[in-house]
Each structure stands twice: as C-alpha cells, then as structure tokens.
Amino acid sequence: LEQIVSPIKGEINLVDEIIKQNTQSSIPLIPELANHLLFNGGKRIRPSLTIFSTKLFDHQENRHLKLAACIELIHSATLLHDDVVDEGFLRRGKKTANAVWGNKASILVGDFLLSRAFDLMVSDGSMEILKTLSNTASIIAEGEILELTTSRDIEISEAVYLDVIKSKTAQLFSSACEVGAIISNQSHKERDALRNFGLNLGNAFQIIDDVLDYISNKKKFGKVIGEDFRSGKMSLPVILAYSRGNE
C-alpha cells in the first residue's frame, strides 16, 4: 500500500494538515481524542481514492484535498461510534478511544468529527457534493443499524451480510472515488464507473477484514483474533461455515 500511495504522499500530508485544522477546539479533550484515532497508523485509503480519482481527469484545483479530509473525518466518526457499539478495546494495535476515555466521550467526539465533515462539504459550495456525501453518511448509519439488528443471528443470509457491508463500508469507498469525477465535471458514465469501482473495492476490503478476524496476526494487523465473533458480528466466514456445516 505504501508503494501505491507514495506518488501522492505530499497531498496526503496536506490532507492531514486540513484534518488537524478541523479537529482543533478550545476543549482539550476533542483534539486529544480525535488525534488518538486519526494519527494512530491509519492508512488513509479513502482520501487516497479521492486524490487518485481526481488525477484521472487532470483536475488542477485543490478542492479535492478538503473533500478527501471530509471523507476521512466521516470514516473516523463512524469508527468512534462503531467501537462503542462493538465494545471494542483495540484498533490498529492500540487501545480504542472508548477504552481510554469512555463511551460518552467517544460518541460526542465522533459527533464533532461528523459535524466538521459537514462543514467541509458545505464550504465546497457544490450541491452535488453535499448531496452525495450527506447521503453517504446516512447510508453508513443505516448499515450500522442493520448490522446491530442482525447481531448474533445465526440464520442471517449472505445477501443480508452483503447489504450490511455495502452500506457501512463500501458506500464510502464508492463516494470517495465518485467525488473526483464530480469536481472534474465528468459525465454520468465516468461517475458511474468510479462509483462502481469504489463499491466493489469496498466490498472486497470488508470481506478481507472480516476474514482477518480469524487468521490475523495481532502484531502485524493490530487485530485480536475472534474479536468480531465475540461481539456477535455475523460475518461471511461464520455465515459460510454455518451454511455448509452439518448438524
């Protein structure tokens, strides 16, 4: 991954600066908790997709940098909320924010990050951008709720699982890619192509992440084996094992 993003490392650094500016507050807890998550080994995959998709069309402005930061803030807000729901205690090899500061602080700072993301959407000035990213935030929330309602349901189908990961993970990948086409004034054909690419990439990413819950190396991936299983997540490995097992 480092080799892939190396050509845009300078732009990723600029995105990080925008993120830092948008996590500042007179309340010390906000930047302290936010930085614990945001600058703790994250791969910046989603902002990278926005930057690369913009470069496909030789876009000369810097709008994409603020939008890439916006997308990372949305992602980070969902992680803070997700760790509370899952009662997670480890992310990227370190204690989760809720394990350090508690659930209330994590939820509220997650709300703060989401509000800052919306500020960046609005400041871009494009109704199409606002419509796309605000709709994405809504779909992610629906995916999280769907996952919650199917928790520990051993009868969950593969189709429902795919609906969950499409909403909670792949949708943001999809929008991260589509943003580049939107701000470059591309046709619906290009937008659809990038949207679908991001959707497929996001689905694949989440399936791999779910598999890692059973085969991961804590030191290498920062994941504890079986954490998703213990929290009741019905991921694809569980669904397939159950459907193909005998009594």
For residue 195, what pLDDT band results from cuts at 50, 70 and 90?
very high
For residue 215, what pLDDT band results from cuts at 50, 70 and 90?
confident
Give the largest Cα separation in the chain, rounded.
61
Both tokens of residue 98? Answer: 């809720």
The pTM (predicted TM-score) of the whole model is 0.93
Query: First CA to last CA across the chain, in angstroms?
Result: 42
Domains and CATH numbers, the chain: 2-244 (1.10.600.10)
pLDDT value of residue 218: 64
Q: Which residues, listed in sequence order, are joined to residue 90 by a DSSP beta bridge?
A: 95
For residue 92, what pLDDT band results from cuts at 50, 70 and 90?
confident
Any residues with CB less than 8 A from the CB of 28 and at least 6 apart, and which? Answer: none
Is 70 exceeded by the pLDDT of residue 230? yes
Any residues with CB less than 8 A from the CB of 52 and at least 6 apart, and which? Answer: 8, 180
Mean pLDDT of 39-66: 91
Burial class (CB in 10 A: 0-12, 13-18, 19+), 104: exposed
Read off the pLDDT of residues 102-158 as tens digits, 9 standing for 90 and up: 999 999 999 999 999 999 999 999 999 999 999 999 999 999 999 999 988 888 999
